[in-house]
Amino acid sequence: MNRLSELISSIEESRTVAVSSLAKRLKAEGKNVLNFGAGEPDFNTPDFIKEAAIKAIQNNFTTYTPNEGYPDLLKAVIKKFKDENDLDFKPENILVSNGVKHSLYNILMAICNPGDEVIFQSPYWVSYPEMTKLVKGKSVIIDAGVEKEYKILPADLEKAITPKTKVFIFNTPSNPTGVVYSKDEILAFAEVFKNKEIFIISDEIYEKIIFDGEKHFAIGSVDYLKDKTITVNGVSKAYAMTGWRIGYAGGPKEIIKLARNLQSHSTSNAASISQAASYAALTQPTDEINKMVEEFRQRRDFIVAELNKTKGIKCPLPKGAFYVFYDVSSYYGKHVNGFEIKDSTSFCNYLLNEQNVGLVPGIAFGNDNCVRMSYACSQSQIEEGLERIYKALVRFH
Ligand SMILES: Cc1ncc(COP(=O)(O)O)c(C=O)c1O
């Protein structure tokens, strides 16, 4: 008999977290490390949100709330979904959890049985395959590399669907690629699911971090998908609130009921103070998001232009989120001082060892030709980082 759980033993450590931890360790050892692995905005949580949290503490809003979230927050989430995404929900359709990660896990647990197939595309967000393992499902991954600008097509989805397909996880804007699917592209995906008993989980956490006049469109607003789609979103990225841990899901009430039940026995309600802060975030007007997005856009333009000047790098222009995901495979098989770049992991190790630059290997996202670089950091860090990357790579030219 195994002493430890075989299921949990099969789960990989999050590689994005692993890179950050390694970069922090090297920094603590005195190395001048520039870490581009971060998956969180480098802005502070806006003051009005912090003040709402302080007030919540002072007003003793510090006890358990209803498991699914306190009623005013549920109302605010319903209004957000209606006003911004054209989604119609009642309180029984909503669950507030400890971050979008938790929302996703609760929902997958609520719908999946062992052997169910879970479709998503690669490059994917690191947790989709691991969560699929946790629910004893089977990942069915549709590859879309740099040559396809990381986009899948409706025909790819058709091909991936089998009688065992339970759910399609859809993420736009995407982590790690920054791809944004247009309304027309999403409507074409919707057609694929018409009259099929397949759920869609739509992960819309980067909804507000979107550039060049692109518009976010929620697949759950398509009429015939309303009773099949669970939309998840949260405050982490849009309001620079990653540490507050609030995410929420809106979907069919029988699914939400099971997810609530699971949450009630595992974590109970999300932190009351964070809920009060999130209520402020969702209900008070603010231009902080626009400022942050504009700053991200400027950094993106700079970083993409510079990377594409570097020989051997192919970097498509991301339309959302705060990452660039670029192809470095032309360096594979090259040697310097006895070190061979074989894959995305050795590429990242080389940069970390040679120039103290932390990137995330694309293999973490299912694409070993690429690496992910976050630009949620200062312009000066970006400039220095790009210079160091260039210095490390020029030795191969
Ligand atoms: C695509 C995607 N979904 C979900 C999450 C999780 O967000 P949260 O911090 O709300 O758990 C992340 C965080 O990096 C993400 O990139």
Q: Concatenate the DSSP letters of all residues of 20-59 into one string.
A: HHHHHHHHHTT---EE----S-SSPPPHHHHHHHHHHHHT
* Burial of 348 (C-beta count, 10 Å sphere; 0-12/13-18/19+): buried
- Give me the half-sphere count of Cα atoms (radius 13 Å) on the Cβ side of residue 192: 23
Q: What is the pLDDT of residues 30-87, one digit of tens each?
A: 999 999 998 889 999 999 999 999 999 999 999 999 999 999 999 999 999 999 999 9
Query: Tell me, what's the pLDDT at 13?
Result: 79
257-277 average pLDDT score: 98
Closest Cα to atom 16, ligand 1: which residue?
Answer: 175
Query: Tell me, what's the pLDDT at 334?
Result: 95
Given a cut of 80, is residue 357 above it in pLDDT?
A: yes
For ligand 1, is residue 237 a contact (CB within 6 Å)? no
105-127 average pLDDT score: 98
Given a cut of 90, is residue 226 above it in pLDDT?
A: yes
For ligand 1, is residue 125 a contact (CB within 6 Å)? yes
In the numeric block, the tokens 């950094």 are attached to 299
- Give me the half-sphere count of Cα atoms (radius 13 Å) on the Cβ side of residue 49: 25
Map residue 114 onto helix, strand or coil: coil
CATH 3.40.640.10 domain position(s) in the chain: 61-283
Q: CATH topology for 61-283?
A: Aspartate Aminotransferase; domain 2 (3.40.640)
Query: Tell me, what's the pLDDT at 139?
Result: 98
Task: Specify the pairing of strand 117-122 against strand 138-143.
Answer: parallel
DSSP one-letter string for 304-355: HHHHHHSTT-B-----BTTEEEEE-GGGTT-EETTEE--SHHHHHHHHHHHH
Query: Tell me, what's the pLDDT at 113?
Result: 98
205 C-alpha to center of ligand 1: Å?
A: 6
Cα separation of the two ends of the chain: 54
Q: What is the pLDDT of residues 295-348, one digit of tens each?
A: 999 999 999 999 999 999 999 999 999 999 999 999 999 998 888 999 999 999
Domain 6-44+288-394 belongs to what architecture?
Answer: Alpha-Beta Complex (3.90)
For ligand 1, is residue 249 a contact (CB within 6 Å)? no
Query: Tell me, what's the pLDDT at 51?
Result: 98
CATH 3.90.1150.10 domain position(s) in the chain: 6-44+288-394
